[in-house]
Amino acid sequence: MGRAMLIICAGVLISMGFVVISTSNTGKMLTQQNVSYAEYTMAKNAAHTAIQIAMQKINKDTSWAKKHDYAKPWKTTVQGLPIELHIDLDESPDYWEPDELRFYSRAKYKNSHVLVESLYLKQPFSSLVPDFKSALTFAADPEKYSFSIGGNTSINGNASHCEGSKPGITYLPDGSENFLDDEKKDAFGNSRVEGDPVGFEPDENLSYQPTDIMIERLYDTLGRPGGAQRLSTAGRGPYTGETFGTAKEPGVFIVEDEFRVTGGKSTGYGILIVRTNADMGYIDEDGNLAEAAFGANFEFNGLVVFENAAEFGSHGTPTINGSVLIGLTDAYPTGKKFDFKMNGTGSINYDCLGENYAKMAAANAIQQLKYTRLVSTENLRRN
């Protein structure tokens, strides 16, 4: 029995020794795996961080992405790990179709590297421009302006090539006798103001506040490359150019003092802002100043804003495709009235293309873009 017991005890001790060794080896293996996973995670996070840093650089300089392609990767260090990053940029020929940016970020990991690939879409971010309410919008107390149209002028909210039309005129009712009562409408004829669902639409929720914020943001871009431009002919002869802004590159134009234009064909695209002390006028063929801000063959495609200005006047055959917005702030002088009057054969027409030109101009001026990440993948690769 004694010998048998010794044999049994020896077997148990040997078995326990194997268990201890196995447990120890398992512990070492788990520790090594945890360390390896932690190192991999650190490398992966470093690669992602590099992409975020690259995005910040692109937000400051949109051309940065073009400077770091496969042949010229950006090299940096994140969390002590060397990083190489390059970008494949696929630019769409259509402004409203987003560009594609593919980021390839490689972080060093032992004898390998972690490769993070991320696909982003880049497109203009134009939330500054308020949605067009109508062909002509009065975002002000009706007691602070007068309204009249004559001749063969027209205000039309029916879109000719867009889905969805607008009213011809929206205005803020004053709760009693407003400036567009039936008698005044009959005086110039309802047929000159058309729209869908109606030609005239009171809107108690109209506000100029979003627009004045947009103007201040755009005003801050004056003098910046690609930013807003001040239109002024003070101390000089009248503007004789044919265009300001194009369909491919619409601009933001601000008039604050004297701006004279000859009676020839003038075309603009984007956003035109006429502010408090602006004095716009047209020089006719005889060299005389016409009593109107818009005249002759003037055409503007986009958004025209009159902020605390003195008047809107037209004669001849001017055309505005987009929308006109009249806005008066608290700074508008007490007792003064904005005078809106159209004569001749001019027209104001709602146009969704004009709305797009305005959004393009605002996005380009403040260099505001929207980046959307679609997908990211992570791979461990051998060097």
- Give the span between the Cα atoms of 64 and 89, in whole angstroms: 11
Q: What is the mean pLDDT of residues 351-357?
A: 93
d(CA 320, CA 299): 6
Look up the CATH number of domain 29-125+369-382.
Answer: 3.30.1300
Predicted confidence (pLDDT) at residue 3 exceeds the cutoff of 70: no
95, burial (CB in 10 Å: exposed 0-12, middle 13-18, buried 19+): middle
Higher pLDDT, 261 or 373: 373
Average pLDDT over residues 23-31: 51
pLDDT tens per residue, range 274-326 = 887 777 666 666 666 665 566 567 889 999 998 887 777 776 678 899 999 98
Residue 12 burial (C-beta neighbours within 10 Å; 0-12, 13-18, 19+): exposed
- Percentage of the chain modeled with pLDDT above 70: 77
pLDDT at residue 111 greater than cutoff 60: yes
Count of CA atoms in the C-beta half-sphere (13 A) of 166 = 28
pLDDT of residue 116 exceeding 50, the answer is: yes
- Go through the chain and tell me how many residues it has: 383
Residue 51 has pLDDT above 70, yes or no: yes
Cα-based angle 334, 337, 341 (whole degrees, multiple of 5): 170
The yes-or-no verdict on residue 177 having pLDDT over 50 is no
- pLDDT of the residue at 331: 78
Do residues 188 and 148 touch, judged by C-beta distance below 8 A? Answer: yes
| Distance, CA of 327 to CA of 308 (rounded, Å) | 6
Alpha-carbon distance of 36 to 345, in angstroms, equals 78
pLDDT of amino acid 52: 94
Q: What separation in angstroms does the CA of 300 have from each of 63, 77, 97, 207? A: 30, 51, 24, 24
| Contact (Cβ atoms closer than 8 angstroms) between residue 170 and residue 138 | yes
Confidence of residue 135 (pLDDT cuts 50, 70, 90): very high
Q: What is the mean pLDDT of the chain?
A: 80
Grade residue 30 by pLDDT with cuts at 50, 70 and 90. very low
Region of poorest pLDDT, from 111-115, 208-212, 333-337: 333-337
**Domain segments of the chain as ranges:** 29-125+369-382, 136-365
d(CA 64, CA 87): 10
pLDDT digits (tens, 9 = 90+) for 180-234: 555 555 555 555 888 888 888 888 888 888 888 899 999 999 988 889 998 877 7
Rounded to an integer, what distance in angstroms lies between the CA atom of residue 49 and that of residue 300?
Answer: 45
